[in-house]
Amino acid sequence: MTRKEQKEVKKSQIIQATLDLFVERGYYGTKTSQISRRAEISEGLLFHYFPTKEILLEELINIGLEGMRTPMQINAKNGLDFFYQFTTMLFSQAEKKPSIAQMFVFMGHVVLAEDIPERLRELASSVDTVSYCQWWVESGQQDGSIRKGNVMSISNMYWCSIHGIMEQYALRPEIPLPEASWVVDMLRSDKCEKKHFQTIDLQEENNE
């Protein structure tokens, strides 16, 4: 392992230790000495990588924001497909990397907690997934795949479900994540459901 690779590994250890403690104790309740102990390094080495706790906080927020931009990279064929693709990808990644679920808890805390510096609270709020996904809800309503209703409410319903599932998974990882289709079905229009069942019926008839 090169020196550069060793530094990246050490940095990742610090970031994970910090995320663990921020989720467990909150930003204000976490001390740099606790972070260094959790990361199994000296406090001096911690400050070499991150001179202050606030800089560490900002680093984690930027990682969280990068994850929140993931839906914007999905190329879907219709509105419902967008939500299915993202939910499937998120659940699969969270099972492999539990810190993804922790990040939902962390980002939710940052936005609401009064002990977080105001500029960092604003930074954490700079990516609005609920507003972004309105376009996909509208698209799905137009092509008949997503139920009718207030676009913002439907997008918010989806994200409240995702946040709740991820936060619970961070606390109780022994409980399996649901199937992505179970979550997406709450968005599905009756028209889309009828088409789906008609397709199944036709396939069964052809097999007889």
- CA–CA separation, 6 and 74 (whole Å): 33
Cα–Cα distance, 131 to 136 (Å, whole number): 10
The pLDDT tens digits for 161-171 are 999 999 999 99
Q: In the prediction, which pLDDT does 202 show? A: 39
pLDDT at 180: 96
Task: Write the pLDDT tens digit of every residue in 56-93.
Answer: 999 999 999 999 999 888 988 888 999 999 999 999 99
User: What CATH code would you report for 60-203?
Assistant: 1.10.357.10
> Residue 77 has what pLDDT?
86
Cα separation of 30 and 109, whole Å? 14
pLDDT per residue as tens, the chain (208 positions): 788 888 899 999 999 999 999 999 999 999 999 999 999 999 999 999 999 999 999 999 999 999 999 988 898 888 899 999 999 999 999 999 999 999 999 999 999 988 899 999 999 999 999 999 999 999 999 999 999 999 999 999 999 999 999 999 999 999 999 999 999 999 999 877 544 433 333 343 444 4
The confidence score (pLDDT) of residue 186 equals: 95
Per-residue DSSP letter, 55 = H
Q: Do 90 and 148 form a contact (C-beta atoms < 8 A)?
A: no
Residue 4 confidence (pLDDT):
83
The CATH code of the domain at 1-51 is 1.10.10.60
Three-class DSSP category at 1? coil
Letter string b/e over residues 154-182, b meaning 16 or more CB atoms within 10 A of that residue's CB: bbbbbbebbeebbbebbeeeeeebeebee
Answer yes or no: same fold for 1-51 and 60-203: no
Rounded to 5 degrees, what are φ and ψ at 74?
-85, 135
Specify the DSSP class assigned to residue 116.
S
Report pLDDT for 154.
97
Domain boundary assignment for the chain: 1-51, 60-203
Q: How far apart (Å, rounded) are the C-alpha atoms in residues 77 and 156?
A: 22
Give the model's pLDDT for residue 1.
Answer: 78
- For residue 51, what pLDDT is reported? 96
Alpha-carbon distances, residue 188 vs 24, 41, 49, 68, 166 (angstroms): 36, 50, 47, 23, 21
Provide the H-helix boundaries in the chain: 3-25, 32-39, 43-49, 53-68, 79-96, 99-112, 118-124, 129-132, 134-143, 151-171, 180-184, 190-207
Global confidence as pTM: 0.84
